[in-house]
Structure formats: structure tokens, C-alpha cells
């Protein structure tokens, strides 16, 4: 094998043009490489690839003319179609919105209870409501509304702040303890100033409240409860729906109602936050979600289909 890179000096090459010997059997060029008598065919690049390449060149030429392409300092060639991805996206969003408008617009105002009993409308809207719920609510309240410690269960019949779709919509709109000016505000203060023995008695009393048992008015915690807790949680701990003070007599809990959790609640206080959704979702979407959430809390067969 020769050391030179000059094609004219390669074995079997024409000394003037550098073209090499043609293999008599295949009709192809040879590369000029020679390994002890074995030469190599200079097999041509497949035609189909050449054509594919040519087509891509052609496409790019067309694209340069039709679409935004070349940078020109402070501007760029706009292309004769004048397309703008941002405008296209907004146009696409408008089409999506228009598709939903016929049924979604019915949720923008009006009596949510009446809407809720419109079975046809509900059947049409619930798949969208479910997706909205999964996108926005399920992170805290769980995909099926089963909640978790600190995040209320929605899929039961127990409510705070309102037990109808209108009240729920209000909560979604402005949130609870959120940054919004119209947020629902509720805070369980810390009772860390109270003597530990009193707190223990109180925790014991509160832990015994749920269930159908008799009122334990003789317990040492009962008087403490009346004095400190009943203002918000009501006499006997029946709660105050409108003020967001949970009932302590039912089975529903947010953080837990065993002694140690109640002790923690008493020492640290609680101030759960639900963000306001008015800036993220439309009025109709919020109402739709409110109905969806309300239905989660209905016994199967009654509200759900």
C-alpha cells in the first residue's frame, strides 16, 4: 500500500485524472487500495439515500420561503405564511375552549344545585371535571378525594365551610388561609401556654368525643373544653360548619383525633392552607369542580351515577 494521498499516484489510477481501474465484473470503480493483490470496490452510495438527501434540501428551501427561518440581526425572515407559534398555540387553545363552551358555559353562573340535577349535562361534564380534579386537586386531596393527614377527605359526607356546591365553589375560588384577600380564614391557635396536665386532660376528652357514647361531662377535660374550645368548636364539640371549625364528635378527622395527635395540635396549633384557584381556573371550571367535589361526598348511587 502506498503512503501517498495523491489519488493520481495510487496503484491502478490514471496518472492524469486520478480515476481508478474499473472492476470488469461489477462495473464499479475500485478504491485503489491493494492488499497483496486484493482490491476494494468503490461501491457507489445508494441512489435512494442521495434522493432522500436531495429531498430534504428541497424541503428546507421551501421551508425557508414559507416559514420563519433566517436570523437577520434584530429580526428574522418571517416566511410568506407568516406563522407564529405563540399565536398558533393561543388559536389552538381558543378552539379547545370553544369546543367546551356549549356545556361548560352553563356552569359559569346559575344555580349549582339545579345544574347538578341535570343528568345529561352532568354526564357530559364529569370526565372534564375529573381531569381538572386530577390536574389541580389530587396532589393534596388524593386522586379519589380520600385526602390524607393534613389534607381533608372530600369523598365523605363531612364538610367544612359549606356543605353545598355553592359553598364548595367559594372555598375553591378564594382558598383557605391563602394569599387571596377574600380567603376563608381559620386558625387553630396553639395552647402551649396551658399547663401540660390540662392539655393532657383536654386531649383525653377530645379523643373520646367521636362515636355515639355518652357525653363525658364528668371528665376533667370537659370544663376545660367548654372554657377554651367551645367558642369555635361548639358545645360538646359539634363544630361550626360556617366558621370552618371541624366537628369533633364525628368520625371525620383532618390531622387525627387520637390523644397524641390532639396533644400535637394543642401544642403547635394548626393553620392548614388551601390555595386560591380564581387566578388559575375560570369561574365555570371552579363551579364544575365544586359539583364534582360535592358528588364525591355523596353516597354511591345517590349522587354518582
Binding-residue total with other proteins (CB under 8 A): 45
Q: Strands 71-72, 75-76: parallel, antiparallel or unpaired by DSSP?
A: antiparallel
Residue 86 sits in the site that holds other proteins (CB under 8 A): yes
**Nearest one of 69, 61, 164 to 111, comparing CA atoms:** 164
Residue 278 sits in the site that holds other proteins (CB under 8 A): yes
- Candidates 15, 24, 37, 71; binder of other proteins (CB under 8 A) is 71
Q: Among residues 98 and 251, whose Cβ is nearest to other proteins?
A: 98
Interface stretch with other proteins, choices 145-153, 160-168, 201-209, 210-218 (CB under 8 A) = 145-153
Q: Quick one: cell of 6?
A: 495523491
- Candidates 3, 4, 5, 102; binder of other proteins (CB under 8 A) is 5
Interface stretch with other proteins, choices 119-127, 160-168, 276-284, 290-298 (CB under 8 A) = 276-284
Other C-beta atoms closer than 10 Å to the C-beta of 43 total 11
Residue 153 sits in the site that holds other proteins (CB under 8 A): no
Q: Quick one: cell of 208?
A: 373520646
Residue 85 sits in the site that holds other proteins (CB under 8 A): yes
CA-based angle 53:58:64, to the nearest 5?
125
Q: Quick one: cell of 284?
A: 365555570
Q: Among residues 105 and 217, whose Cβ is nearest to other proteins?
A: 105
Residue 1 sits in the site that holds other proteins (CB under 8 A): no
- Candidates 154, 284, 289, 296; binder of other proteins (CB under 8 A) is 284
**Nearest one of 300, 290, 305, 302 to 113, comparing CA atoms:** 290
Residue 73 sits in the site that holds other proteins (CB under 8 A): yes
Residues facing 148 on adjacent strands: 151
Judge contact between 156 and 247, C-beta under 8 A.
Answer: no
Q: DSSP readout, 99-141? A: HHHHHHGGGSSS-HHHHHT-HHHHHHHHHHHHHHHHHHTHHHH
Judge contact between 182 and 169, C-beta under 8 A.
Answer: no
Judge contact between 30 and 38, C-beta under 8 A.
Answer: no
Least Cβ distance, residue 7 to other proteins (angstroms): 5
Q: Quick one: cell of 163?
A: 356543605
CA-based angle 132:133:136, to the nearest 5?
80
- Candidates 66, 215, 273, 304; binder of other proteins (CB under 8 A) is 273
Residue 109 sits in the site that holds other proteins (CB under 8 A): no
Residue 279 sits in the site that holds other proteins (CB under 8 A): yes
Q: Among residues 123 and 280, whose Cβ is nearest to other proteins?
A: 280
Residue 65 sits in the site that holds other proteins (CB under 8 A): no
Least Cβ distance, residue 141 to other proteins (angstroms): 10
Helix, strand, or coil here: 116?
Answer: helix
Interface positions with other proteins (CB under 8 A): 5, 7, 18, 50, 70-71, 73-74, 76, 85-97, 135-136, 138-140, 142-143, 148, 150-151, 179, 272-275, 278-285
Amino acid at each position: 500500500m502506498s503512503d501517498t494521498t495523491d489519488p493520481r499516484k495510487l496503484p491502478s489510477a490514471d496518472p492524469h485524472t486520478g480515476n481508478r481501474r474499473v472492476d470488469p465484473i461489477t462495473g464499479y470503480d475500485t478504491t485503489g487500495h491493494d492488499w497483496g493483490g486484493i482490491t476494494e470496490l468503490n461501491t457507489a452510495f445508494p441512489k435512494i439515500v442521495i434522493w432522500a438527501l436531495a429531498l430534504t434540501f428541497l424541503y428546507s428551501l421551501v421551508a425557508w420561503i414559507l416559514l420563519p427561518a433566517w436570523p437577520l440581526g434584530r429580526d428574522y425572515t418571517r416566511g410568506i405564511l407568516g406563522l407564529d407559534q405563540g399565536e398558533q398555540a393561543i388559536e389552538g387553545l381558543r378552539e379547545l375552549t370553544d369546543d367546551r363552551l356549549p356545556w361548560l358555559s352553563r356552569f359559569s353562573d346559575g344555580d349549582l344545585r339545579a345544574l347538578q340535577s341535570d343528568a345529561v349535562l352532568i354526564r357530559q361534564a364529569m370526565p372534564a371535571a375529573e381531569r381538572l380534579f386530577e390536574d389541580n386537586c389530587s396532589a393534596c386531596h388524593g386522586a379519589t378525594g380520600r385526602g390524607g393527614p393534613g389534607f381533608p377527605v372530600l369523598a365523605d359526607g363531612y364538610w367544612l365551610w359549606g356543605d353545598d356546591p355553592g359553598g364548595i365553589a367559594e372555598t375553591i375560588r378564594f382558598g383557605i388561609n391563602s394569599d387571596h384577600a377574600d380567603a376563608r380564614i381559620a386558625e387553630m391557635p396553639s395552647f402551649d401556654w396551658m399547663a401540660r396536665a390540662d392539655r393532657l386532660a383536654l386531649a383525653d376528652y377530645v379523643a373520646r368525643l367521636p362515636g355515639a357514647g355518652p357525653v363525658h361531662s364528668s371528665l376533667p377535660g370537659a370544663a376545660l373544653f367548654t372554657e377554651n374550645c367551645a367558642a369555635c368548636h361548639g358545645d360538646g364539640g359539634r363544630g361550626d360548619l360556617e366558621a370552618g371549625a371541624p366537628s369533633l364528635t364525628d368520625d371525620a378527622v383532618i390531622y387525627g383525633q387520637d390523644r397524641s395527635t390532639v396533644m400535637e395540635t394543642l401544642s403547635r396549633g394548626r393553620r392548614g392552607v388551601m390555595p386560591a384557584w380564581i387566578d388559575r381556573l375560570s369561574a365555570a371550571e371552579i363551579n364544575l369542580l365544586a359539583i364534582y367535589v360535592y358528588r364525591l361526598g355523596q353516597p354511591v348511587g345517590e349522587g354518582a351515577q
